[in-house]
């Protein structure tokens, strides 16, 4: 049916109402950009935290860091907040920063096309067409569920659910449940559902490094201290930021200079030994790739859950999903009532970044361009050839620390470009190829420092790696990324046109 809804124009359209979209909108509004529309296909703010409601869902970065620096809370119930508190936080942010009039939920973007003559993006959505001078893609990397490519998946006669689309009306009590996957999500789901089910079979392809989590209730006293004792909140934030920095960016990107991986692995192996009683299960749960090749998990009862009589770890590969359950390569048929797919997300897949065709004026499709030329961006925010377009979570922008720091950095970068465009009354801004190349060569020059060069990473099946073997992280500390996002030369962009 032809779209007969009226065309609308906004100065800025943001795709995604998760924390990326919300944080960018707040930064833009603070800088005086008010004509903005945020579209999201969900039915509330918070992105991944709206979608992921599985039992045990919680942050795996301490809450002191997993929040905006300008909207810190002392209300978190634990040092690692459960998912429902993140959903509530997103709603509070919308309210406090007056974002509700800008948000349009239930709206899926089908495509975006740049028109050079008007220097505008034309965005087609499920709610009609909208045009924008500036288009910002704020889709998160963990939003497109990845269903396993296993024969017979549609034939299973019990209930099937992906963890990010949890079916709360399916009771697990007394059921035979199978969980496929042992990534960060399974690490949270498995201990939570094990006491409830009759039998839980966990199908593992690659074990995950699971480390103890400094997760504790904050309690009334703790929360009051954060609120009233001078300096406590700042110290908690600083300690948390240092912990996050040490456990990811430093460990991963500066591996050559801080070779802590081996020592950490020894400690992690000791932890597994202390947690898991059966030696064969312990061995099967011990990764053979270097810690850091893929995101390690933090949980205090995942490993010990395998001591339970009603939990089994299955390591034979899955041959097929059958109407009755799962058949593994050792010939065993595992009878199941419920199948949980903890199989992760399409992170760098062609149809995930972005989730819709995005076409420049000369007809180049962004996903195709990245597919053929490999990922390349300027600070993860801009891509040469795609004017007036920005990504909050673009390739080579994220250094693996708190996602909120990334959002604030990307938003600062975008605001800087748009403020300069406004000062010049420019209608067009595009990063120069030279600036992009310089950025990419500086980042790629650090590749040899990273843990990802460890040959054992080949066996990690890590979603960090693209099909080409690239790891599109920003190899940088968080302070360096923050500084560069705010101080890059404005001459790195070409500005043009003149607003009437």
Residues 169-208 that bind ligand NA7 (CB under 6 A): 180-186, 205-206
Cβ count near 243 (within 10 Å): 15
CA dihedral 416, 421, 424, 425 (to 10 degrees): -140
Does 447 contact ligand NA7 by CB under 6 A? no
Of positions 150, 159, 232, 361, contacts ligand NA7 by CB under 6 A: 150
Q: Which distant-in-sequence residues (6+ apart) come within 8 Å of 303 by Cβ?
A: 210, 271, 272, 275, 276, 285
Shortest distance, CB of residue 207 to ligand NA7, whole angstroms?
A: 8
Shortest distance, CB of residue 146 to ligand NA7, whole angstroms?
A: 7
Both tokens of residue 316?
């034979």
- Choose the binding region for ligand NA7 from 10-18, 143-151, 167-175, 467-475 (rule: CB under 6 A): 143-151
Does 322 contact ligand NA7 by CB under 6 A? no
Rounded distance between C-alpha atoms, residue 158 and residue 168, angstroms: 15
Does 244 contact ligand NA7 by CB under 6 A? no
Of positions 190, 318, 339, 415, contacts ligand NA7 by CB under 6 A: 318
Shortest distance, CB of residue 341 to ligand NA7, whole angstroms?
A: 8
For ligand NA7, the closer of residues 170 and 316 by Cβ is 316
Helix (H, G, I), strand (E, B) or coil at 200: strand
Rounded distance between C-alpha atoms, residue 425 and residue 418, angstroms: 10
Shortest distance, CB of residue 177 to ligand NA7, whole angstroms?
A: 16
Does 329 contact ligand NA7 by CB under 6 A? no
**Of 422, 419, 483, 412, residue with least CA distance to 26:** 412
Residue with tokens 């073997």: 469
- Choose the binding region for ligand NA7 from 121-129, 231-239, 342-350, 363-371 (rule: CB under 6 A): 342-350
Does 456 contact ligand NA7 by CB under 6 A? no
> What is the SS3 string spanning 59-120?
CCCCCCCCCCCCCCCCCCCECCCEHHHHHHHHHHHHHHCCCHHHEECCCCEEEEEEECCCCE
Residues 367-426 that bind ligand NA7 (CB under 6 A): none
For ligand NA7, the closer of residues 99 and 451 by Cβ is 451
Both tokens of residue 151?
């024969």
Shortest distance, CB of residue 338 to ligand NA7, whole angstroms?
A: 17
Shortest distance, CB of residue 52 to ligand NA7, whole angstroms?
A: 8
Shortest distance, CB of residue 447 to ligand NA7, whole angstroms?
A: 21
Rounded distance between C-alpha atoms, residue 351 and residue 111, angstroms: 12
Does 296 contact ligand NA7 by CB under 6 A? no
- Count interface residues toward ligand NA7 (CB under 6 A): 22
Position closest to ligand NA7 via CB? 183
Rounded distance between C-alpha atoms, residue 380 and residue 340, angstroms: 33
Q: For residue 327, list its beta bridge partners.
A: 320, 333
* CB 179, CB 186: distance < 8 Å: yes
User: What's the burial of 349, exposed, middle or buried (CB within 10 Å: 0-12/13-18/19+)?
Assistant: middle
Shortest distance, CB of residue 185 to ligand NA7, whole angstroms?
A: 3
Shortest distance, CB of residue 61 to ligand NA7, whole angstroms?
A: 8
Both tokens of residue 288?
């053979």
User: How far from 111 is each of 130, 365, 388, 471, CA to CA, in Å?
Assistant: 11, 10, 15, 27
Shortest distance, CB of residue 145 to ligand NA7, whole angstroms?
A: 9
For ligand NA7, the closer of residues 56 and 387 by Cβ is 56
Q: For residue 318, list its beta bridge partners.
A: 328
Under DSSP, the state recorded for 316 is S
Does 312 contact ligand NA7 by CB under 6 A? no
Both tokens of residue 193?
């559902």
For ligand NA7, the closer of residues 114 and 464 by Cβ is 464
Residues 461-500 that bind ligand NA7 (CB under 6 A): 461, 463
- Choose the binding region for ligand NA7 from 38-46, 147-155, 367-375, 431-439 (rule: CB under 6 A): 147-155
Shortest distance, CB of residue 151 to ligand NA7, whole angstroms?
A: 10
Window 47-66: contact mask with ligand NA7 (x via CB under 6 A): -------------x------
| Chain positions contacting ligand NA7, by CB under 6 A | 60, 142, 148-150, 180-186, 205-206, 295, 318, 342-345, 461, 463
């Amino acid at each position: 049916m032809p779209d007969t809804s009226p065309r609308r124009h906004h100065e800025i359209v943001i795709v995604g109402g998760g924390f990326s979209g919300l944080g960018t909108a707040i930064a833009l509004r603070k800088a005086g950009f008010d004509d903005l529309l945020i579209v999201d296909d969900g039915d509330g703010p918070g992105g991944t935290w709206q979608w992921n409601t599985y039992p045990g869902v919680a942050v795996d970065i301490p809450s002191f860091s997993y929040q905006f620096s300008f909207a810190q809370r002392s209300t978190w119930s634990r040092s690692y907040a459960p998912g429902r508190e993140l959903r509530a936080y997103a709603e509070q942010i919308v309210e406090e920063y007056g974002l509700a009039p800008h948000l349009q939920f239930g709206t899926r973007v089908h495509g975006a096309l740049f028109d050079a003559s008007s220097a505008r993006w034309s965005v087609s959505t499920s709610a009609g067409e909208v045009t924008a001078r500036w288009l910002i893609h704020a889709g998160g990397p963990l939003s497109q569920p990845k269903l396993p490519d296993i024969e017979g998946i549609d034939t299973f006669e019990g209930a099937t659910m992906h963890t990010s689309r949890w079916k709360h009306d399916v009771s697990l009590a007394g059921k035979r449940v199978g969980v496929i996957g042992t990534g960060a999500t399974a690490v949270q789901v498995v201990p939570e559902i094990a006491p409830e089910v009759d039998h839980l079979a966990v199908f593992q392809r690659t074990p995950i490094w699971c480390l103890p989590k400094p997760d504790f209730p904050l309690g009334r006293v703790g929360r009051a201290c954060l609120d009233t004792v001078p300096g406590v909140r700042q110290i908690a934030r600083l300690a948390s930021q240092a912990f996050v920095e040490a456990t990811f960016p430093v460990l991963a990107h500066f591996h050559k200079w801080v070779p802590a991986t081996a020592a950490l692995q020894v400690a992690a192996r000791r932890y597994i030994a202390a947690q898991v009683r059966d030696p064969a299960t312990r061995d099967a749960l011990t990764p053979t790739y270097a810690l850091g090749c893929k995101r390690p998990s933090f949980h205090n009862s995942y490993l010990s859950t395998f001591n339970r009589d009603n939990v089994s770890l299955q390591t034979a590969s899955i041959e097929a999903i059958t109407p009755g359950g799962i058949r593994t390569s050792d010939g065993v048929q595992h009878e199941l009532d419920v199948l949980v797919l903890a199989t992760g997300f399409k992170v760098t897949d062609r149809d995930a970044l972005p989730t819709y065709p995005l076409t420049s004026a000369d007809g180049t499709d962004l996903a195709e361009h990245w597919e053929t030329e490999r990922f390349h961006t300027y600070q993860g925010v801009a891509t040469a050839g795609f004017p007036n377009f920005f990504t909050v979570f673009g390739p080579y922008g994220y250094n693996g620390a708190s996602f909120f720091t990334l959002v604030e950095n990307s938003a600062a970068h975008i605001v800087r470009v748009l403020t300069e465009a406004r000062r010049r009354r420019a209608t067009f801004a595009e990063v120069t190829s030279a600036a992009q190349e310089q950025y990419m060569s500086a980042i790629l020059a650090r590749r040899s420092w990273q843990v990802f060069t460890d040959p054992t990473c080949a066996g990690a099946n890590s979603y960090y790696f693209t099909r080409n073997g690239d790891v599109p992280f920003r190899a940088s500390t968080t302070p360096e990324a923050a500084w560069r996002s705010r101080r890059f030369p404005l001459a790195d962009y070409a500005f043009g046109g003149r607003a009437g």
